[in-house]
Chain A
């Protein structure tokens, strides 16, 4: 098993009282890859992210991050191991300013006692500057995060994940509720992360998927249905069957 693979998911299963939301799901995501996960509603996409990030504990199977087993660890430990997660509904610190949000995100020492200090280290300050540049939120740094526009909140959350220096970033519908211009900016940020970060993106917006995707995994009923480049996926008869009734991929 090469440790060059960022994420190795093997037979991942979760059983909710007999209902298997994710059922023997396996895939390998290489270092620096951007993988899009598609699937009709209820396919288990978000549950799969819950399993990777530790929100839900797996009933069977394993998740390895660069060869290291992180299956069903506590959320903060998985986060420290290098997995960042963005939620569908922006999850940010609303009563803190944008700057404070970023400052929390770039904190390298997780413990209480090691944070009984004032100010930022030089490396942390540099990191804040880096994500401010990338997300272009420089004009709203002193604004309360809860007062931002929907798009700005999404970028703020994205920026926090980057500030966290996660090697693998899980994005759950990063463009949900965004205008076209906002979607474009989001795809720019995501494209800028390619290579330096490994990304796993759940998304429905096909225009956006075409903008960013390299390789696509299609899930259905908790299982992997197909995997490949976007052209292959669109022609795959099994994928077309799965989407029948939900209107096909559009």
Chain B
């Protein structure tokens, strides 16, 4: 009776296991630091796909501002890494001072992090690397909690959620660009130091750095998959299908939406942090509208109701994009191609690539069950003899 459920869990264990194995073994076959670093960035995008699938697929919340949380995560850790860079450390002051603060400083301002500009003291705690890393999770989570509480307690739903999240990411982008002395504005934070753990420096082109990203993605995938498999995950899906029914069954629908929206934002913030470690910069372009929408496209192509599908969708599209844009011809046409793929998937494959995969496995399992039961037994007897 329950075989249907067990099968789907079994299939997921195999699929997730195979994917995780593949990304963990990849460095054995790919001996090109440049490409390995590139793939690490795509794995980060894959993590964003997971975040989108969680909020869009499972909670039914179309967040068009996921870049806000990704960007905040990125900036928090980038601030710490900026203070570790050799240029920041060699300004001839007691505390490290980012180069752009000098360029933006008032004449005669003291060259110290505390007081070079009116708000530069905000950078002080970021001298500790762990502080930046912790804030990369805390800040997105706190913002998401506040934003989603306002949205879902007021029972805003559907396209209005998309509009509010979209407006939020643009607002924060504007604030960051505007706060030039504090954030280096439009230029973002570049020339960063490397993540250093117990004396080991994670050069972005090292295999070890790739593994930080790959292991993080594996953990996020597994934990998120477990999370949606809990009762809370099931109840979340029920609030997506019919929020009123869930309410009349006694569930505080907003609490579920807020919780999962915030988890999704936390994943995005974590992804932002990893991206900075691999790419060595943070930029307001992370909060461009186009980037947040691109994430949604990845998830739609991969399959928004599948965490793994959305993750693979993101990695696949970016890998193809990187390969295609090597040739001059595709470079220009790429945006049109990706737009076309998106339209085709939405029209003909509403469950994305994951849906195709699920249908195929269902058919295979069905075929293996019915006619082959007897031959199987025959085969095992043959083998025994």
Contacts and interface: CB of A to CB of B under 8 A. Distances in A.
Nearest to B236: A112
Interface residues of B, number: 28
Interface in B90-125: none
A194 interface: no
B250 interface: yes
B328 interface: no
Interface in A99-149: 99-101, 103-105, 107, 110-113, 115-118, 141-142
Contacts of A111: 252, 255
A25 to B, nearest CB: 21
B238 A141 contact: no
B229 interface: yes
A130 B52 CA distance: 38
A72 to B, nearest CB: 15
B380 interface: no
Contacts of A117: 230-231
Given A115-B232, A116-B227, A116-B232, A95 B247 contact: no
Nearest to A91: B245
A93 interface: yes
Interface string B245-287: 1111111110110010000000000000000000000000000
Contacts of B242: 91-94
Contacts, number: 95
B232 A112 contact: yes
Contacts of B259: 112
B244 interface: yes
DSSP class of B's interface residues: helix, strand, loop or mixed? helix
Contact of B241 (A80, A94, A112, A157): A94
Contacts of A95: 237, 240-241
A190 interface: no
Given A75-B247, A94-B241, A95-B237, A107 B231 contact: yes
Contacts of A105: 249
B252 A93 contact: no
B248 A104 contact: no
Given A107-B231, A112-B259, A141-B1, A76 B245 contact: no
A109 to B, nearest CB: 8
A75 B247 CA distance: 6
A158 interface: no
B247 A110 contact: no
A219 interface: no
A164 B249 contact: yes
Given A75-B248, A160-B249, A116 B4 contact: no
**Interface footprint category on A:** 35 or more
A96 B234 contact: yes
A92 B246 CA distance: 9
A77 B250 CA distance: 6
Contacts of A174: none
A92 B5 CA distance: 20
Contacts of A80: 250
Contacts of A84: 248-249
A92 B250 contact: no
Given A104-B234, A115-B231, A76 B241 contact: no
A96 B229 contact: no
A118 B227 contact: no
A141 B5 CA distance: 11
Contacts of A107: 231, 235, 249, 251
A95 B350 CA distance: 14
A160 B244 CA distance: 13
Contacts of A104: 234-235, 238, 246, 249
A104 B230 CA distance: 11
A93 B251 contact: no
Contacts of A55: 244
A94 to B, nearest CB: 5
A113 B244 CA distance: 21
A79 interface: yes
B253 A76 contact: yes
Contacts of B232: 112-113, 115-116
A152 interface: no
Contacts of A91: 242, 244-245, 248
A197 interface: no
Contacts of A142: 1, 4-5
A78 B256 CA distance: 18
Given A91-B242, A93-B242, A95-B237, A76 B252 contact: yes
Instruction: Pick the most buried of A77, A85, A104: most chain B CB atoms within 10 A of its CB.
Output: A104
A159 B252 CA distance: 21
A76 B229 contact: no
A154 interface: no
Nearest to B1: A141
Contacts of B255: 111-112
A62 interface: no
Interface in B60-75: none
B154 to A, nearest CB: 13
Interface string A45-64: 00000000101000000000
Contacts of A79: 247-250
Interface of A: 53, 55, 74-77, 79-80, 84-85, 87, 91-97, 99-101, 103-105, 107, 110-113, 115-118, 141-142, 157, 160, 164
Minimum-distance CB pairs A-B, first 3: A115-B232, A79-B250, A93-B241
6 contacts: A74-B252, A79-B248, A80-B250, A107-B231, A117-B230, A160-B249
Given A76-B253, A104-B234, A112-B259, 8 more contacts: A84-B248, A91-B244, A92-B242, A93-B237, A97-B4, A110-B252, A112-B255, A141-B1
